[in-house]
Chain A
Amino acid sequence: MVTHEDVLKIANLAKLSVAPEELDGLTKDMNEIIAFADTVSAASADVSDFDNINGLSNVFREDVPVPSYRREDILKNAESSEDGYFLVRRRR
């Protein structure tokens, strides 16, 4: 069973702030999500290696450089930038 503490810990790791009144609802949701995922474990299957289900290996790329993107394009989605850097402003 997921507890309030678990939810707070996961929120903290993900840098999310959770208000006290949200805690009951989120805990309930998480328990339901985990219960839903458990139906997978209950299913029977012939495959045992769920870790590498596609069975592929050694898909490699040769070590040959390709020109990178233009910096304007790289910074296009940034909330803010300065002197060609991504800028993360101090939180107030």
Chain B
Amino acid sequence: MNYELVCGLETHVELATKTKIFCSCTTEFGAEPNTHCCPVCIGLPGTLPKLNKAVVEYAVTAGLATHCEINPDAKMDRKNYVYPDLPKAYQISEYDQPLCRNGYVELASGKKIRLTRIHIEEDAGKLVHERGNTLIDYNRGGVPLIEIVSEPDIRSIGEAAEYVEQLQAIMRYIGVSDCKMQEGSLRCDVNVSVRPQGSDRLGTRTEIKNMNSFSHMTKAIQYEMDRQIDLLESGEDVVQETRRYNEETGCTEGMRGKEDANDYRYFRDPDLVAIRVTDDMVAALKAKMPEGPQKRLARFQTEYGLPEADARLLIDRRRIADYFEAAAKGTKNPRTVANCILGPIFSRLDSDAAKDEFRVSVSPENLNALVGLLDAGKIRKNLVKSTLEKMLDTGKPAAAFLSEKDLAGVNPDDLRKICEQAAADNPNAVKDYRGGKEKALKAVLGAVMKMTRGRANPQEAEKILTQIMKA
């Protein structure tokens, strides 16, 4: 029998706020353990949480970017469980009134993966297990998260990966999170079940916790699918449970002792007041939202005449797309700007991380000035690339590498003489032109450019040639 995958994801995204969700400790990553803590985020008795306004704004913005309805009447609840990563023995989250509901993320195929909800909550501390003991660092405790819950609309491992990539791109674009999987600022819990192809019933699902890389996630889903199919084929049942992916063995394993964990005894946090998201707040956030990647992709093709593949490479990272737009400002040659980035600049950024950072020694203004010389007919295209390479090596502007001779072009009297010479050298082309073949002028123009080694302004030369050849 053929089986199909039915998969939904719960994606945790750490928000890019400066401070934690309920206290003013910094959210900076990578500090010494327990140096970003205060009585609130280590859960000392008598402390009171106060909600960070930016958390609400970021979460609503994330909801708007994923076509969600914004809940005008949200609140926060306590999710109770006893584990050392949670000093209060409860996590403050949102249970039945999340900030955002009913959205979707669109895949390249046009298929929509529906989102059930997006809610805000606090992250837990980090546990280090050593010689049977547990060491706890609460720096991450209280860092704001949004949890994005999808419907079980995903039908293949490819779709799962694309969905996460899309979320990553959207969240980075709107500046809500850097979504670095390797630093844990984006992590997924994956719900997996299988069913006979064509069936509309849902099978029993298992949940694989805490996937923090694309390769682990795809391997874990594949392993879990195969395991469930084996069980069903041999007449056994899939048990609904939480599983962990073992990176060493490439297998998923049941997590024992979690059977009671679903009894979280949620109730409203009496220390926190209602969150009322007004229409005005939503409108203000909408107005501040940058253009999404999908819209920008379309605009790069229509406004700048870029081929889709090139536009895609540029919009993939907002930093690069912004750089392109600054460098292409007002130019007649936006495709040359794109080629400068996708060619010489990209070849110096050899990893994804380097492209994420996009540290380039040439400012967009300097690239804009270089292409401006091309626009003005002061340099030819072939000089653009070689000059850019020198600029990238040194960080200096184009003027530093172009000699006066390069920039001066050819003076009008000389140019006229050269044009006359070129016309005399190509009598057949002149005859053709006079006979009505306008294209013949190009051949003579080519000769002029060759004689001036590209320094002539082609528009000027064309004007002079037209006069000469018409006569």
Report the bound CA distance from A29 to B19 in whole Å: 43
Kindly state the separation between the CA atoms of A54 and B56 in the bound complex, as whole angstroms.
Answer: 21
Query: How far in angstroms is the closest Cβ of chain A from B208?
Result: 24
Residue A21 lies at the interface, judged by CB distance under 8 Å to chain B: no
Picked from A54, A62, A65, the residue with its CB within 8 Å of the CB of B53 is: A62
Q: A13-B265, A62-B53, A63-B54 are in contact. Are A84 and B138 (CB under 8 A)?
A: no
CA distance A90 to B132 in the complex (A): 6
A40 at the interface (CB under 8 A from B): no
Give A61's nearest chain B residue, CB to CB: B50
* A87 partner, pick from B24, B39, B133, B272, beta carbons under 8 A: B133
Taking the complex as formed, is B428 at the interface, i.e. its CB lies under 8 A from any CB of chain A?
A: no
A43 at interface by CB-CB < 8 Å: no
Query: A57 an interface residue at 8 Å Cβ cutoff?
Result: yes
The docked-state distance in angstroms from the alpha carbon of A90 to that of B135 is: 11
List chain A residues, Cβ under 8 A from B75: 51-52
How far does the alpha carbon of A68 sit from the alpha carbon of B138 in the complex, in Å? 12
Nearest CB in chain A to that of B83: its residue? A15
Interface residues on B, range: 35 or more
Give chain A's interface secondary structure class.
loop
- Quote the shortest CB–CB distance from B37 to chain A (angstroms): 5
Number of interface residues of A (CB under 8 A): 34
User: Is A77 in contact with B44, judged by CB distance below 8 angstroms?
Assistant: yes
A71–B35 contact, CB under 8 A?
Answer: yes
Bits for B19-41, please: 1 = Cβ < 8 Å to A, else 0.
Answer: 10000111000001111111100
Asked whether A63 and B18 contact (CB < 8 A) given A9-B260, A90-B133, the answer is: yes
Q: Does B238 count as interface, using CB distance less than 8 angstroms? A: no
Contact of B34 among A62, A65, A74 (CB under 8 A): A74
- How far, in whole Å, are A13 and B80 apart by their CA atoms in the complex? 9
Residues of A within 8 A of B384 (CB): none
Write out the residue numbers on chain B whose beta carbons fall within 8 Å of the beta carbon of A90: 132-134
Q: Report the Cα distance A11→B134, complex, angstroms.
A: 23
B273 contacts A68, C-beta separation under 8 Å: no
Complex interface residues of chain B between 123 and 152 (CB less than 8 A to chain A): 128, 132-138
Distance in Å from the Cβ of A34 to the closest Cβ of chain B?
15
Interface residues of chain A, those whose CB is within 8 Å of chain B, are: 9, 12-15, 51-52, 54, 56-66, 68-69, 71, 74-75, 77, 82-90
